[in-house]
Amino acid sequence: MSQDEAARNETQGQPIDGSAPPPPRDERPRPQYGEYAPEGWSWQPPADERADAAASAPHPAPPPPPAEPAPNGPSSPALQAPAAQTRSADRFFTILLLALGALGAWNTSVSLQQLPGAIQTVYTQQGVGTYTPQEWLPTLALVGTVFMLALYAAVLGWAIARLRARRVAFWVPIVGGAIALVSTIVMTSIVFLTDPTFQSYLERMSGV
């Protein structure tokens, strides 16, 4: 290649008069309003607006302080002592009543087995006459004995369960004793009211 051709290639595409080349043509469509922003430019809000936005933004509330137990709450020593004393008193009376109930259940069972002799003693003291046991009296005595022992076992188990659960239990033996007393009165009344000798005694007393 000759020097003239090289010089022509270097100067091709440049103005002959040596002026700057024209800026590149913007190929983007012309906006309807305004002009395009220069490349690399981004909008930033004024400093006053940034401060207002930061002030108006919600701030997380501080965590509440840990709650302290009330002076007279459930864990207060001032309330633990009376509760412990109440449980101790309830346990003492419950055990005492259960022991008395065991003696009562045993004595009632023995008395039912010896009921004919006990009735004859009452008849002799009151001048009623001679007692003749009914045929079903041994069966009644056996049923009464089993009932008394089963009742005491139920009362004992229920009272112990309430004591273990730290619940008031002294009233359980009281209820069991009341049921045993009513049952004994009912069975004894059946024996007396169905006896012909006692019925004759009542008729004589009514006639007088």
pLDDT in tens, 82-132: 777 888 899 999 999 999 999 999 999 898 888 888 888 988 988 888 888
Q: Considering only residues 69 and 80, tell me which one the structure prediction assigns the higher pLDDT.
A: 80
Q: Is the pLDDT reported for residue 208 higher than 60?
A: no
Q: What is the DSSP letter of 34?
A: S
3-state secondary structure at position 41: coil
Does the predicted TM-score (pTM) go above 0.75? Answer: no
d(CA 183, CA 111): 13
What pLDDT does 170 receive? 93
**What are 57's two structure tokens?**
């933004």
pLDDT in tens, 133-171: 889 999 999 999 999 999 999 999 999 999 999 999 999
d(CA 195, CA 132): 8
Cβ proximity of 99 and 156 under 8 Å: no
**What are 201's two structure tokens?**
């005694």
Q: SS in 3 state form for 65-114? A: CCCCCCCCCCCCHHHHHHHHHHHHHHHHHHHHHHHHHHHHHHHHHHHHHC
Quick count: other Cβ atoms within 10 Å of Cβ 154?
13
Mean of the per-residue pLDDT values of the chain: 78
Side chain identity at 146, as an amino acid letter? V
Structural domain spans, the chain: 101-207
Quick count: other Cβ atoms within 10 Å of Cβ 125?
8
